Amino acid sequence: MFSDSDPIAAIATAPGRGGIGIVRVSGADLAPVLEGVLGPAPAQRLQPRRATFARFLDATGRPIDEGLALLFPAPHSYTGEIVLELQGHGGPVVLQLLLARCLEAGRPIGLRIATPGEFTRRAFLNDRLDLAQAEAVADLIDASTEAAARSASRSLTGEFSRRITALVEALLELRTLVEATLDFPEEEIDFLQAADARGRLAAIRQQLDDVMARSRQGAVLRDGLNVVLVGAPNVGKSSLLNALAGEEVAIVTPVAGTTRDRIVQPVAVHGILLNVIDTAGLRPTEDPVERLGIERTLAEVARADVILHLVDAAAPAADAEVLAQVTRHAGRGVPLLTVTNKIDLIGLAPRREGDRVWLSAKTGAGLDGLREALLEVAGWSASTTGEDVFLARERHLQALARAQEHLSAAAAQLDAEHGYGNAYLELFAEELRLAGQRLGEITGEVTADDLLGRIFSRFCIGK
Ligand SMILES: Nc1nc2c(ncn2[C@@H]2O[C@H](COP(=O)(O)OP(=O)(O)OP(=O)(O)O)[C@@H](O)[C@H]2O)c(=O)[nH]1
Ligand SMILES: [Mg+2]
């Protein structure tokens, strides 16, 4: 719809009042905007990348605001085009006026308002960032914990991309060797041995596994872990949610069947975001409202990353019914921790044995054991700070997984009996090519246009 060569403008700072507000303009030629907003001969006054005090003028030459003007000549700017930043006072009205004035002055060059993420999209199109780095920009802005922010910023510096690119290069090198062998079939065996195709492939696969493991961790960091509390009514699910959150989020009463709707509360544990979900207690009921609540509970169970099954220490009634219902709805391989609550009532000490935890939501005893168990289930060690993980997205995980599949198919080709000349080598080379292609999708070497549209449309405006 819009062209990637239109000059664009947007308010880059968050909506609302603030000390400073920034209007950002990017394009191949900004002369009319510069002159219109800053007055005659702006180029002489503005040194590249230096802050210059200026009055921002309306069409009649009267100041709308005053502040700092910054000019970034192409290609050394965020977008790779000429970028002008006007830093004025951060009120919504004054910024709207300033933006409107830029658009007015930029009419001769077709200046328009930027769509969400369009500045970063330009940075990608002009090779200032690769796709994984561009996504890291959005992830850094959206980061909900310190560890997530740190890891996004590492992806932004290109560390994740470098690992991916190194893998792509290693694959290409191996493929070149194999294809050379194909050209000289009589030297096939020697060549393969000399090239150590098996050894190289094994090394590449190991590196890919490592990137995958760190990326999986990163996905947990980015999106958090859905922890669903389930159990019979009155076992203390809402009390446990409140204890983990450190505030009275959910209503707690001695009445069985208090919680009807699901309640989601984000809780950070050692930098990991947990979305703790309190649900209606599970029991047979005729009450239509409670029934709907129970349906929702089971829907949450189906989406859970971890299930906390609560039982009452003082009333360890057969909870087999609840457990059976839960396991029927849970996804395959989803970990389940059994939490025995209300240990204060029977004078038990808090403890933890594998996936069983004993605690009191009321006194808080044993909560640390539960936090520990949760992180462990997520594959997280308390010493992890986000330094070693890649803040990956689902898209990245899928590309990595498919690359892994191609490499295991490649390994199978090498291991297979090959009585049919070197046809297997061609298949081997083809699997390497496909694996490389999947990895290339991550950094954006090979990308469809609609993918770009989807990725950048989730950004905020002005970025
Ligand atoms: N002594 C003691 N009482 C607890 C503890 N945890 C919860 N309770 C009490 O148990 C009762 C039920 O607690 P809730 O947190 O509302 O239980 P629930 O599982 O959310 O119940 P429903 O929402 O009805 O399914 C309340 O009176 C709580 O004060 C605990 O660790 N020790
Ligand atoms: Mg409740």
Closest to 370 in 3D by CA, of 271, 244, 225:
244
Which residue is closest in CA terms to ligand 1's atom 14? 236
pLDDT surpassing 70 at residue 386: no
CA 262, CA 279: separation in Å to the nearest integer? 5
The distance from CA 289 to its chain's CA centroid, rounded to whole angstroms, is 36
pLDDT of residue 1: 61
pLDDT of residue 93: 92
Tokens 């330094």 — which residue? 387
Distance (angstroms) between ligand 2 centre and the Cα of 357 equals 19
Distance (angstroms) between ligand 2 centre and the Cα of 378 equals 25
pLDDT band at 375 (very low <50, low <70, confident <90, very high): confident
pLDDT of residue 334: 86
Ligand 1: does its nearest atom lie under 6 Å from the Cβ of 253?
yes
Ligand 1: does its nearest atom lie under 6 Å from the Cβ of 346?
no
Ligand 1: does its nearest atom lie under 6 Å from the Cβ of 235?
yes
pLDDT band at 222 (very low <50, low <70, confident <90, very high): confident
CA 58, CA 36: separation in Å to the nearest integer? 8
- The tens digit of pLDDT for each residue in 179-196 reads 877 776 665 556 666 678
- Half-sphere exposure of residue 435: CA atoms within 13 angstroms, side-chain side: 30
pLDDT surpassing 80 at residue 316: no
Yes or no: is domain 225-304+306-377 CATH 3.40.50.300?
yes
pLDDT of residue 351: 95
CA 178, CA 191: separation in Å to the nearest integer? 8
Tokens of 293: 């609540």
pLDDT band at 388 (very low <50, low <70, confident <90, very high): confident
Ligand in nearest proximity to the CA of 237:
1
Round the average pLDDT of the chain to a whole number and report it: 88
CA 163, CA 155: separation in Å to the nearest integer? 10
pLDDT band at 16 (very low <50, low <70, confident <90, very high): confident
pLDDT surpassing 70 at residue 405: yes
Q: Is the dihedral of CA 195, 198, 201, 203 positive or negative?
A: negative
Burial of 166 (0-12, 13-18, 19+ CB in 10 A): middle
pLDDT of residue 141: 84
Q: Are 217 and 384 in contact (CB under 8 A)?
A: yes
pLDDT > 70 in the chain, percent: 92
Ligand 1: does its nearest atom lie under 6 Å from the Cβ of 258?
yes
Which residue is closest in CA terms to ligand 1's atom 6? 236
Distance (angstroms) between ligand 1 centre and the Cα of 358 equals 15
Ligand 1: does its nearest atom lie under 6 Å from the Cβ of 308?
no
β-pairing verdict for 306-312 and 336-341? parallel
Which residue is closest in CA terms to ligand 1's atom 11? 254
The residue to mutate among 228, 229, 230, 234, having the most atoms of ligand 1 within 8 angstroms of its beta carbon, is 234
pLDDT of residue 220: 79
Which residue is closest in CA terms to ligand 1's atom 2? 342
In the chain, ranges of CATH 3.30.1360.120 domains: 8-128
In the chain, ranges of CATH 1.20.120.430 domains: 159-218+390-444
Q: Are 249 and 259 in contact (CB under 8 A)?
A: no
87-101, 141-155, 234-248: least confidently modelled range: 141-155
pLDDT band at 385 (very low <50, low <70, confident <90, very high): low
- The tens digit of pLDDT for each residue in 407-422 reads 999 999 887 756 566 7
CATH code at 159-218+390-444: 1.20.120.430
Ligand in nearest proximity to the CA of 248:
1
pLDDT of residue 177: 82
Which residue is closest in CA terms to ligand 1's atom 12? 234
Distance (angstroms) between ligand 1 centre and the Cα of 196 equals 64
pLDDT of residue 394: 81
pLDDT of residue 436: 94
pLDDT surpassing 80 at residue 365: yes
Ligand 1: does its nearest atom lie under 6 Å from the Cβ of 155?
no
- Half-sphere exposure of residue 188: CA atoms within 13 angstroms, side-chain side: 13
pLDDT surpassing 80 at residue 448: no
pLDDT band at 142 (very low <50, low <70, confident <90, very high): confident
pLDDT surpassing 90 at residue 460: no
Yes or no: is domain 8-128 CATH 3.40.630.30?
no
pLDDT surpassing 60 at residue 71: yes
In the chain, ranges of CATH 3.40.50.300 domains: 225-304+306-377
Tokens 């930043």 — which residue? 85
- The tens digit of pLDDT for each residue in 251-272 reads 999 998 899 888 999 998 877 8
Ligand 1: does its nearest atom lie under 6 Å from the Cβ of 418?
no
Ligand in nearest proximity to the CA of 263:
2
Distance (angstroms) between ligand 2 centre and the Cα of 251 equals 7
Distance (angstroms) between ligand 1 centre and the Cα of 313 equals 11
The secondary structure of the chain, three-state, reads CCCCCCCEEEECCCCCCEEEEEEEEEECCCHHHHHHHHCCCHHHHCCECCCEEEEEECCCCCEEEEEEEEEECCCCCCCCCEEEEEEEEECHHHHHHHHHHHHHHCHHHCCEECCCCHHHHHHHHCCCCCHHHHHHHHHHHHCCCHHHHHHHHHHHCCHHHHHHHHHHHHHHHHHHHHHHHHHCHHHHHHHHHHHCHHHHHHHHHHHHHHHHHHHHHHHHHHHCEEEEEEECCCCCHHHHHHHHHCCCCCCCCCCCCCCCCCEEEEEEECCEEEEEEECCCCCCCCCHHHHHHHHHHHHHHHHCCEEEEEEECCCCCCCHHHHHHHHHHCCCCCCEEEEEECHHHHCCCCEEECCEEECCCCCCCCHHHHHHHHHHHCCCCCCCCCCCCCCCCHHHHHHHHHHHHHHHHHHHHHHCCCCCCCHHHHHHHHHHHHHHHHHHHHHCCCCCHHHHHHHHHCCCCCC
Ligand in nearest proximity to the CA of 242:
1
Using alpha carbons, list the distances in angstroms from residue 142 to 8, 115, 149, 272, 459: 23, 18, 8, 14, 9
pLDDT of residue 380: 66
Ligand 1: does its nearest atom lie under 6 Å from the Cβ of 290?
no
Cβ partners under 8 Å of residue 206, min gap 6: none
Ligand 1: does its nearest atom lie under 6 Å from the Cβ of 87?
no
- The tens digit of pLDDT for each residue in 38-70 reads 999 887 889 999 999 999 999 999 999 999 999
Distance (angstroms) between ligand 2 centre and the Cα of 348 equals 23
pLDDT > 90 in the chain, percent: 53
pLDDT surpassing 80 at residue 225: yes
Ligand in nearest proximity to the CA of 233:
1
Q: Which amino acid is at 98?
A: L
pLDDT band at 12 (very low <50, low <70, confident <90, very high): very high
Q: What is the mean pLDDT of residues 361-371?
A: 95
* Ligand 1 atom nearest to 280, measured from its CA: 25
